[in-house]
């Protein structure tokens, strides 16, 4: 699998939270050659199943969400579009940002910005609240009311870019990069016999509620699940003790959202495979699908595996291709022989 090409397919498909269908279609097409069955559910998730062929086999679920942060049109003002955000977006990154307004057909827009020449003293040093920003698509008020219905979603307009040292930049790498990791995991296991039925979930609604992964986990009733999401990579202006250096492998969550036997297994297989062990202490709400998945039905043992990413929720997030490969290798090693795990057989956490 060529990671960059796979990410181009996934990230070019718009899919803001609640409007994921184009991204779901792209993901389903990539899953089809790697699974026995691929389908979408009523919530809007895409799911795949690779059967092991054993009667009564245990079920393991891997999840990565497909929705991206975005915006939604709330009204018009002199032809400019008012909007609110879908998911957590820092308003500082929005002025002068190119966007795609998902009308039929989609249209180009730019978030309006005041030139520095006409700013008041000190105004340039302040963030403009989202409620005061507008999207300019170059039309009149009458045209806007006719062409752009209230409730139209909007996404960043940004192509995928190659950086030095195998790094990749672009929009929606949170969490399409992790879905690409799940595809690579399936590819690594393609010629191998598993002792569990493996489910792969491309979930919707993570950025706004987590409802996609929660409902899918309830339906599948897995014996354990792994939420695969991004975590904060180290940057020049971030705290060194909480960020993970790009190119040094994935992070593994440790805390109340993480089943202890799964953490131990992840550490054991990472050491056996020569993959760096990067523990990430998560003392409470993890901000991932794992939090809701853990409470589905009578409870599901959950682990969190995280791909380091710089500039989260911006139009140019950055990951390392090497980290993506190491994460896929870790997940593949975790799955090999997991049906023999005593804790899995006993359904303990």
- Residue 206 falls in the annotated catalytic set: yes
Q: Where are the alpha helices (DSSP H) in 170-301?
A: 173-188, 211-220, 260-273, 290-293
H helix intervals, the chain: 3-11, 21-31, 141-147, 173-188, 211-220, 260-273, 290-293, 321-335, 342-346
For residue 346, pLDDT over 80 is answered with no
With vertex at residue 338, the alpha carbon angle to CA 333 and CA 340, rounded to the nearest 5 degrees, is 140
Which residues partner with 50 through β-bridges? 198
pLDDT in tens, 13-26: 999 999 999 999 99
Average pLDDT over residues 307-326: 97
Exposure class string for 302-313: b at 16+ Cβ within 10 A, else e: bbbbbbbbbbbb
pLDDT, tens only, 91-115: 999 999 999 999 999 999 999 987 8
Q: What is the pLDDT of residue 125?
A: 79
Give me the chain's average pLDDT, please: 95
Bond into 105 cis (ω within 30) = yes
pLDDT score of 38: 98
Candidate list 206, 207, 317, 325, residue with the active-site label: 206
Q: With the C-alpha atoms ordered 14, 15, 20, 26, is the resulting torsion angle positive or negative?
A: positive
| % of the chain surpassing 90 pLDDT | 91
- The alpha carbon of residue 223 and the mean position of all alpha carbons in its chain are separated, in whole angstroms, by 23
The model carries a pTM of 0.96
Q: Say if residue 197's pLDDT is above 80.
A: yes
- pLDDT for the residue numbered 12: 97
- CA-closest candidate to residue 176, choices 329, 335, 30: 30
Q: Which of 177, 168, 147, 15 is nearest to 76 (CA)?
A: 147
Q: How far apart are alpha carbons 31 and 37 in whole angstroms?
A: 9
Query: Residues of the chain with pLDDT > 70: what percent?
Result: 99
For 184-190, what is the mean pLDDT?
98
Give residue 238's pLDDT band: very low, low, confident or very high (50, 70, 90). confident
Task: For residues 183 and 14, give the distance between their C-alpha atoms in angstroms, rounded to a whole number.
Answer: 19
- Furthest-apart CA pair in the chain: how many Å? 72
- Residues whose CB is less than 8 angstroms from the CB of residue 209 and which lie 6 or more positions away in sequence, other chains included: none
- Strands, E, within the chain: which ranges? 37-40, 46-50, 59-65, 70-77, 80-86, 98-101, 107-111, 135-136, 153-156, 161-162, 167-170, 197-203, 224-232, 251-254, 279-281, 302-309, 317-320
What is residue 91's DSSP assignment? G
Do residues 135 and 154 lie in contact, with contact meaning Cβ atoms separated by under 8 Å? yes
d(CA 223, CA 52): 15
């Amino acid at each position: 699998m060529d990671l960059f090409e796979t990410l181009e397919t996934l990230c070019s498909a718009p899919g803001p939270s609640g409007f994921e269908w184009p991204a779901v279609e792209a993901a389903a097409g990539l899953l089809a050659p790697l699974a026995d069955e691929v389908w979408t559910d009523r919530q809007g998730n895409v799911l795949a199943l690779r059967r092991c062929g054993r009667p009564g086999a245990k079920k393991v679920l891997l999840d990565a969400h497909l929705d991206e942060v975005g915006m939604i049109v709330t009204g018009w003002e002199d032809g400019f579009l008012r909007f609110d955000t879908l998911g957590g977006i820092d308003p500082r990154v929005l002025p002068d940002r190119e966007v795609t307004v998902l009308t039929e057909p989609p249209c180009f827009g730019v978030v309006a910005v005041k030139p520095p020449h006409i700013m008041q003293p000190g105004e340039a040093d302040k963030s403009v609240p989202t409620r005061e920003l507008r999207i300019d698509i170059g039309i009149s008020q009458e045209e806007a009311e006719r062409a752009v219905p209230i409730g139209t979603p909007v996404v960043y307009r940004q192509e995928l870019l190659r950086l030095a040292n195998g790094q990749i930049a672009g929009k929606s790498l949170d969490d399409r990069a992790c879905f690409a990791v799940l595809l690579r995991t399936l590819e690594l296991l393609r010629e191998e016999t598993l002792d569990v039925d493996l489910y792969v979930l491309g979930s919707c609604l993570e950025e706004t509620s987590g409802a996609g992964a929660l409902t899918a986990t309830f339906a599948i009733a897995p014996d354990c699940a792994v939420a695969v999401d991004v975590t904060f990579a180290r940057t020049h202006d971030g705290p060194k003790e909480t960020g993970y250096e790009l190119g040094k492998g994935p992070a593994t969550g440790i805390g109340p959202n993480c089943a202890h036997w799964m953490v131990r297994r992840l550490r054991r297989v990472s050491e056996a495979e020569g993959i760096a062990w990067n523990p990430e202490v998560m003392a409470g709400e993890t901000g991932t699908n794992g939090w809701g998945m853990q409470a589905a039905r009578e409870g599901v043992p959950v682990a969190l595996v995280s791909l380091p990413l710089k500039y989260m929720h911006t139009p140019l997030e950055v990951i390392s291709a090497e980290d993506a490969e190491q994460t896929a290798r870790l997940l593949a090693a975790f799955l090999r022989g997991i049906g023999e795990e005593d804790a899995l057989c006993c359904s303990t956490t």
